[in-house]
Structure 1
């Protein structure tokens, strides 16, 4: 689905000044936009996961772990936290405020603009597999490690205003089995019924925003 690029209006910095769990839900329906020399690519955020360190064993900042990789998590909210896992770059949004190392992982988006560019980058036909995972969406949108620390209220990488989803589901996060009791926290959020969600599972709760 192609849309007019003029409809991509960056959120205000205040948008990121909310508790991490609230932000993880509020991001659903917003647009993730990246501009490169090859063109613009954008998608609607349909799935997120919240990570609240230092008490969250699944968070990179657990126990206030401060490393070269996690440094940006200790800065102000609304910055890009990118890191590489299994050769894939993953994209997070710093939250919690300066000194409180928390973040929201963007797990999946629904393509809005630049679909042909996404297809070229992913070297595959147009399908839900283009952007239905955290590593897939970054490659499709052109997000990489050079975006680390970028303020997400301005180009070339930003969060744009969107529409509230009709219903939000929540459940356990994915791929964190070795994180103690944190593996059971229902801190994964997704737009109910959206086909681009990375993994469909029974929701622990469903509500209207």
Structure 2
């Protein structure tokens, strides 16, 4: 992983990193071509104290071990049959991470739609949807570093949100942290999961 990317995932709270990820580009290179998209929705999970986190109460298993690895480690898991893409964000042994929940396609939309035959924005407006669109349907990249193989995130934003919205997370287990505003979105972007059409910015998609 590049120094710039390593530095991005360290040195500040996970919730701040999640906000800062909006506008960075998720890039996946395959033999068929490159697929990429700007991150429009990211959800922070804050480890042992977070009732919705996989590491709540210090839970540490083979399945969630990636969260305990160094910042920038890829954590892939399954939920209700869908693959999800998470990134570890804190020092080794501090199991916090960010779930990437939505991307706006940039490169390779035709490839994404070969993998997931849905119209825009349905092709990538959810965490399981974007993984299906990229064709990542295994845990092969779990516990690898961003950029070590063919999946990475740009170390700097290539688009800037006009407004960032912070809302409660979606589909998390009930508990004291259920309603905390730890889901960050590009306000008005059509590729945010569960967004209402009447709230979409159809011209600029919420970017400056």
In structure 2, list runs of 5 or more residues that go unmatched: 197-208
Q: Secondary structure at the match of 2:122?
A: helix
Query: 1:139 Cα shift?
Result: 1.1
Structure 1's consecutive aligned runs of 4 or more residues displaced over 2 angstroms after TM superposition are 9-12, 161-164
Q: Secondary structure at the match of 1:184?
A: coil
Normalized per residue, the structure richer in strand is 1
The count of corresponding residues between Structure 1 and Structure 2 is: 194
User: In structure 2, what is the Cα distance between the partners aligned to 1:101 and 1:195?
Assistant: 31
2:170 to 162, 171, 174: 174
Residue in 1 aligned with 2:205?
A: none
User: In structure 2, what is the Cα distance between the partners aligned to 1:198 and 1:42?
Assistant: 17
Query: 2:38·2:159 contact (CA, 8 Å) conserved in 1?
Result: no
1:41 to 26, 35, 53: 35
User: In structure 1, what is the Cα distance between the partners aligned to 2:18 and 2:26?
Assistant: 14
Residue in 2 aligned with 1:51?
A: 45
Please, what TM-score do these two structures have when normalized by structure 2?
A: 0.87
Residue in 2 aligned with 1:148?
A: 142
Query: 1:47·1:191 contact (CA, 8 Å) conserved in 2?
Result: yes
Query: 1:189 Cα shift?
Result: 0.3
**What CA RMSD, in Å, does the superposition of the two structures yield over aligned residues?**
2.1
Matches within 5 A, 1:93-112: 93-112=87-106
Please, what TM-score do these two structures have when normalized by structure 1?
A: 0.87
Query: 1:77 Cα shift?
Result: 0.7
1:165 to 161, 168, 173: 161
Query: 2:23·2:160 contact (CA, 8 Å) conserved in 1?
Result: yes
In structure 1, list runs of 5 or more residues that go unmatched: 1-8, 202-209
Query: 2:29·2:35 contact (CA, 8 Å) conserved in 1?
Result: yes
Query: 1:10 Cα shift?
Result: 9.3
Query: 1:33 Cα shift?
Result: 0.6
Q: Secondary structure at the match of 1:54?
A: helix
Query: 1:41·1:118 contact (CA, 8 Å) conserved in 2?
Result: yes
Q: Secondary structure at the match of 2:101?
A: strand
Matches within 5 A, 1:59-208: 59-124=53-118, 126-143=119-136, 144-160=138-154, 161=156, 162-176=158-172, 178-200=173-195
1:19 to 3, 10, 13: 13
Query: 1:181 Cα shift?
Result: 1.4
Query: 1:28·1:45 contact (CA, 8 Å) conserved in 2?
Result: yes
